[in-house]
Structure 1
Amino acid sequence: MLSPRAFLVSLLLAAGTAFAIEPTPGAGSGNWAADAELEGIVDLLDLDYLKHPIRVDRLPLKYAVTTIHGRGERTVYTFEDPNCGYCRQLTRRLEEIGNVTVHTFIVTFLGENSRTQADAVWCARDRSAAWHRVMGKKDTPPAPAGCRGPTAQTMKLVGMLGITLAPTVFFADGSRMNGIKPRDEIEERLQAAARNAGSR
């Protein structure tokens, strides 16, 4: 049975997205948000999450691949699929923009091959380098037997945030950008987010 807060979140998501959110029972709990690692993630959402920014300080970065370009003074949080062409464009664009820290949550919207590549990246010694090899369509060693990435946790987070496409980007002020945008627009969003986050 869903907790009251989880039930409220499921209603919000159902109202704001194009697909139904089905609860996935946690370990012995029956609560889709009850995994120890994801406890409290529902607090990421305001009551009207489509209009208000999320709490980026509550994102579980231990499930993300982190890349620092230049000084890394700005921050973005991206949700990308290894087989997504627009995600590859975003990866290159953020590298070109520079001076940004990118926390990438690897999603698997595009099937089993995406999961296989996500595991390969996560199980690599240098996850950031492995991610950029995948996004550059270069060969990446497969994950060792028995090593799996946090795909299940990431996809639960995707459902809670109402993410329906890749790439999806959150900036330092919690604002959201869906899809790929021109380089100048991303730079403007980075600067605005830094100002907004600093004024809080």
Structure 2
Amino acid sequence: MKTRSLVVISAGLSQPSSTRLLADRLSAAAVDQAAGLGTDLSVRVVELRDVAHDLMNHMLTGFPPAALEEVIDAVSAADGIIAVTPIFNASYSGLFKSFFDVLDKDALVDKPVVLAATGGTGRHSLALEHALRPMFAYLRAATTATAVFAATDDWGADDDLRTRVARAAGELVREIDRREPAVVTDPFALTASFEDMLAGT
């Protein structure tokens, strides 16, 4: 059985939050569908509210505190990402955007990503297409065709939400399955021996 890693980013501000609930549903569906493909999918959930102060410190100083650095490294090393944000003023939350602002510019290149969001009404669902998808396109992530939006009313219409979650999760795990495991290059690793460098080769 192959082993792959999934990092789930939840930008919910309250505890509990519908944003985290949607993130958990997506990750559970991804684990189930990955198992059907013979892949053991390990999941790490990151609540951005827990590193919110670290994010601001990083943006002000240019240096991530240890806890935030560990999260950034986990995202870079992940084989897939589920990114879930609440929708505020017709776009992603500031906390959500701040996290992706501090990632290395190549951290998400060709990395499979499911986009998801929560909001009070279905009128906010287009934010997935006019706000989130362009941002992840800029980051060169491989976003799934299906994005998942959950409005307050969707939690009552459970079958419809479950169908959309299952479709998005299936697209994600198929993209993860067809790729080689993610490899993170150490920017400080030596690419030549000291002997070669001294010889000028």
- Normalised-by-shorter TM-score class: under 0.3
Structure in which a larger fraction of residues adopt helix:
2
TM-score, structure 2 as length reference: 0.28
- Greater share of strand residues, 1 or 2? 2
TM-score by length of 1: 0.28
